[in-house]
Amino acid sequence: MSTSSEHPSFDAVARTGIDAVYRYLVNLCGSREDAEDLTAQAFEHAQRRWSRFDPERGEPLPWLLAIARRVALDHFRTEGRRRRRERVAAEDPALARQAVPDPAAAESLSPELRSALTRLTRGERELVALRVILELDAAETAALVGSTPGAVSSGLHRALAKLRREVSRDRAW
């Protein structure tokens, strides 16, 4: 990402930021398919608002992630209606054959870790994605999620402790 105060091109920002946004949304949503759709939506929103981005106020990546987060939260808000539609679809044998479970976790993950991640809440997975995967610092993460650096550190600590615990439990089984 460009660190200069000049307004970078959206094309360059999209190329370098797409992986980060996708990884963030995969962890947040828990579904690859949803993450792909939401990533596309996020970039669509970002393109419309690109003229409002002020490079002097921060890097493009946190700005993109903030948009992606809003898109994801809107998606979660409409989750109830979506789940009802999916239930209806599941009751239809013809449609049920088309529905394929799409675990978000990568194949390279151990089964215990993959399972443990699904037991974290969205908020906990979000912190893991932002701090561990995308390596944002506490201040940037706090600004993104609307919290304080201290709360972000505590939240991440609890999420990782929980993850460790779940993994240990699964291994014990």
Partner 1 sequence: MTEPGETKVSEERTEALLDGAKPRDDAERDLARLMSEVRESAEPAPGELRARVGRIVAGESSVAWYERLWARLASVWRPTPGRLALGVGTLGALALIAVAVPVLMSDGSSEGGDALATVAPEERVQDDALGELSEPPANALAPEPESRERDAGSAVPGGAPPPVDAAAGRSREIVTFTRISVDGVDALSSTTSRAMSIARRLGGFTESSNFSVPNGEVGTSVLVLRVPTARAGRAVEQVTALGTVLSQNADLTDLSRELSRGRTALQRSAAELARLRRAVAADPADAGLARELEAAEDRHRELTRRQREVQRRVSLATINLTLTTEGPVDPPPDGIGGSLSTSGERLASIGVGVVSVVVLLLPFALIAGLIALGGRWVHRRRREGLLSRP
Residues within the interface to partner 1 (CB under 8 A)? 10-11, 14, 18-19, 21-23, 26, 30, 36, 39-41, 43-44, 47, 73, 76-77, 105-106, 108-110, 113, 117-123, 126, 128, 131-133, 135, 138, 146, 153-154, 156-157, 160-161, 163-165, 167-169
Angle (deg, nearest 10), helices 32-49 and 60-77: 120
Please, which residue, 12 or 92, has the CB nearer to partner 1? 12
Please, which residue, 92 or 168, has the CB nearer to partner 1? 168
Q: How many CB atoms lie within 10 A of CB 143?
A: 16
Residue 65 near residue 21, CB atoms below 8 Å: yes
Please, which residue, 142 or 156, has the CB nearer to partner 1? 156
**Spatial CB neighbours of 66, under 8 Å, sequence gap ≥ 6:** 144
